Amino acid sequence: MRKQTFKMRLLSLIALCGIVMAFASCSNEDVAQSTVDTNTEKNSNLTSFVTGAAATRTSLNYDDGAFFWEAGDHIYVKDDNGTWQKSSNAPTEKTASFKFMVPGKYTNSTTYKVYYPGKNGFNNNVTISATQSQTQPNSTIHIGETGDCGTADAKRNGGMFNFRLDHQAAILVFQPFTNNTAVKNCYLTKIEVESDNDITDTYTLDTTTGELTGTGSGKSITMTTKGSGSYANGFPLTNSAADLATNGAYVVIRPGRHALTVRYWIKDYATNVEGAITKTYPAFDYEKNDYYDMTANINVKDYDGRQYYQWDAKNNYWNGHEWNSADPWQPVLANDYNSNTASGTFYNNEPATGGYAAKFSCKTLRNANEMAWYITNGDPHWDGEELWTTMGHLHKGGMWFREKRYIPMMLDSRAPSPVNADMRSYDRQIYGTPTQGAPTYKNSYFFLPALGYYRYGMINEMESAGYYWTSTRTPDDTNWAYRMKFDSSSIELLTDDCDAGYYVMNMN
């Protein structure tokens, strides 16, 4: 994958550290470990492993790649007897340097390997967590708990041992953004990362190379992005460009070549709708000791709230008082109500004999015959998980239909069986039953959201049903016209009162 696709920041995460040997007499060095006092740095049975002034472990500063030690961090070293030793102390707060006190004897070699297996690891065993959590944006305090790890070869330099810590995990830095007004009203609640191979499990830091070894089986990581206070609902999505401070999230993975599928879960707390927006990333080499920008435009299809009309009216149902106007009357949520009637919104009741075609807002719509073909031969699929937005809020649910070009013999002059007649001249009905779930090959289908309808000052059946006008009025009746209605279990085409506020949309 090309670098500009990921906007990679390949900064070295290697930092200089030092081990200071506290020499003691042989008798003191040979004291059993059970007698070691782990509460004092002056105890001669402990060796001082001192990090350098550079920030080194275990939270990350994104801008310069520097790490800091965090409260509870420990290091591990094998002593001269081949026994694993854990530092007896740990930082109590975030710090750029720290003196670790490690039991054991370290005089037989000029080089010792230092291990940092993460907060939940021990010795040289590392667990990259399948469940990770970050409680506020652009925070990396959690990475030591979720699998970030490192090793170093400590080399004697006089009375000190110097080493450079080499980080063995890779870090994905997710930075979602959106230009959709409705999505900006949502929160990022979690991120799911799926790989074509293992990215999470328990691994071993090799005692020779220091690298992660072993074959894991975990191919999925879930990062929860919720905390407390202003982040109790999740991370905001108010940014129109990548912005770490708004919603930056850090996920630790095993390095290697991975093809990733990422699902960004978002929630609108006004509609209580939660769903995932999926992005795919082709196979790419995610190297150890690096972190990678994963920017993503989190967007879903938005549908215009001004497209509700009485049949073939010249103006939309809330003309001049739309939801985003200076004087809004239009209800946008299920419990909203407004009894006012906007002017110029009455349906077209022009007298006519026989079939009548629309002249205004419904003029370019499919006629009743074409709509019947969609129902009987368009392989309708109800999809309760497809996300969409309208009037500033997130919703889901609707119907997929085959596009006209994929429906053989589709005619605008005659309805299919069982009608087998021109519905523009006869009052007929068509019924159908949808298949459940999205079609396998969406490229040959189009989607109609369950936008509900307006009547009696309310928005009705939002997310439950879709009501769509045709261009065909009922023969010899100026007050009725054909519309299609669908819900999760049924589809119907029949005539209905022209004064209902159904949706107007040109279909593929």
CATH node for 170-297: 2.60.40.2630
Whether the predicted pLDDT of 304 surpasses 60: yes
Residue among 297, 289, 257, 174 at smallest CA distance from 1? 257
> Which three-class secondary structure state does DSSP give residue 158?
coil
Instruction: Return d(Cα 220, Cα 101) in angstroms, integer.
Output: 37
**pLDDT-based confidence at residue 37 (cuts at 50, 70, 90):** very low
Question: Tens of pLDDT along 149-206?
Answer: 999 888 887 767 777 778 899 999 999 999 999 999 999 999 999 999 999 999 999 9
Q: Quick count: other Cβ atoms within 10 Å of Cβ 77? A: 24
**pLDDT-based confidence at residue 70 (cuts at 50, 70, 90):** confident
What is the structure's pLDDT at 145? 94
Instruction: Return d(Cα 16, Cα 114) in angstroms, integer.
Output: 13
**pLDDT-based confidence at residue 418 (cuts at 50, 70, 90):** very high
What is the structure's pLDDT at 48? 64
Residue with tokens 């129109």: 240
What is the structure's pLDDT at 25? 23
The rounded mean pLDDT for the chain is 88
Q: Which two tokens stand for residue 292?
A: 């990678």
What is the structure's pLDDT at 354? 72
Contacts 24+ apart (CB under 8 A), 57-60: 57/15, 57/116, 57/144, 57/150, 57/165, 58/116, 58/118, 58/119, 58/143, 58/144, 58/148, 59/94, 59/139, 59/140, 59/141, 59/143, 59/144, 60/13, 60/140, 60/143, 60/171, 60/250, 60/291
Whether the predicted pLDDT of 474 surpasses 80: yes
Q: Hey, CA dihedral for 133, 219, 237, 13, is it positive or negative?
A: positive
Question: Tens of pLDDT along 250-263?
Answer: 999 999 999 999 99
Question: Per-residue pLDDT averaged across 401-405, rounded?
Answer: 98
Residue 212 CB partners (closer than 8 Å, separation 6+): 126, 149, 168, 169, 203, 204, 205, 206, 254, 255, 288
Q: Where are the alpha helices (DSSP H) in 33-184?
A: 143-146, 181-184
Residue with tokens 């003191």: 28
Instruction: Return d(Cα 422, Cα 202) in angstroms, integer.
Output: 67
What is the structure's pLDDT at 65? 64
Residue 371 φ then ψ, to 5°: -65, -35
Q: Which residue has the higher pLDDT, 44 or 219?
A: 219
State percent of the chain over pLDDT 90: 74
Whether the predicted pLDDT of 360 surpasses 80: yes
Run of H or E including 140: none
Question: Per-residue pLDDT averaged across 318-326, rounded?
Answer: 98
Whether the predicted pLDDT of 97 surpasses 80: no
Q: Which residue has the higher pLDDT, 305 or 97?
A: 305
- Domain range list for the chain: 3-167, 170-297, 302-503
What is the structure's pLDDT at 164? 74
